[in-house]
Amino acid sequence: MAGFLYMSDLNAAVSPTVGSSSLTYAIVVRCGPHQQSQALSAFQFTKEVLLQGHEVLRVFFYQQGVHIASRLRVVPQDELNLAVLWQQLSLDYDLELGVCIAAALQSGIVDQQEASRYELGSDSLASQFTLVGLGQLAAASAECNRLVSFGGN
């Protein structure tokens, strides 16, 4: 019986889409808020994936993308505030927004714990975002059916 279960697990790994059209995604955002159209594409793609009933394991913000997670940016009223868009999506779909901690610390994006650890006087990470290690990107890439990355060039 154990062997049988093992075999069925193998089949599932080879063809994850059999019996269901739903896929598991991991999203990497490497473009910052200054690359507005690229950064917006990442958001719109993720939203569409969720709307179509797929699962998003995690959105991982890396390189310039970490700046999206700052709660200290002031966006002109007629421009889109990407942090707010992501926050709302996170609330609506219980979506995990992971920010690379090494890149974030270098960019002045810190949560309360890091702010007190380094005696910075203030935190700057927007709510719904969490600081995580680069390993969370590797873990997501291992688990997902599709890894989609935005920006970086």
Partner 1 sequence: MSCLMTLSHAPYGSQDAKESLDVALVLSAFEQQPAVLFLDEGVLQLLPTSQTPSSHKHIGKIVSALEMYDINELWVEQESLDRFSLVADQLSQTVNVIARGQVAQLCAQYDQHLVF
**Residues that are catalytic:** 100
Q: Is 62 in the site for partner 1 (CB under 8 A)?
A: yes
Q: Are 111 and 77 in contact (CB under 8 A)?
A: no
Min separation Cβ 108 and partner 1, Å:
15
Binding status of residue 120 toward partner 1 by CB under 8 A: no
Distance in angstroms (rounded) separating the CA atoms of residues 60 and 7? 32
Segment contacting partner 1 by CB under 8 A, of 37-45, 79-87, 115-123, 133-141: 133-141
Among 46, 53, 63, 113, binds partner 1 (CB under 8 A): 63
Task: Please enumerate in sequence order all residues whose Cβ is within 8 A of that of 109, keeping only pairs 6 or more positions apart, or say none.
Answer: 66, 67, 69, 70, 99, 124, 125, 131
Cα angle value 26/30/76 (rounded, 5°): 115
Residues 4 to 43 in contact with partner 1, rule: CB under 8 A: none
Distance CA 47, CA 20 (A): 20
The number of angstroms, rounded, from the C-alpha of 47 to the middle of its chain's C-alpha atoms is: 12
Asked if 134 is part of the footprint of partner 1 (rule: CB under 8 A), the reply reads yes
Among 36, 102, 108, 116, binds partner 1 (CB under 8 A): 102
Q: Which of 149, 147, 152, 151 is nearest to 26 (CA)?
A: 147
Judged by CB under 8 A, which of 19, 76, 121, 135 binds partner 1? 135
For residue 142, the minimal CB distance to partner 1 (Å) is: 6
Residue ranges in contact with partner 1 by CB under 8 A: 62-63, 102-103, 133-135, 137-139, 141-142, 147, 149, 152
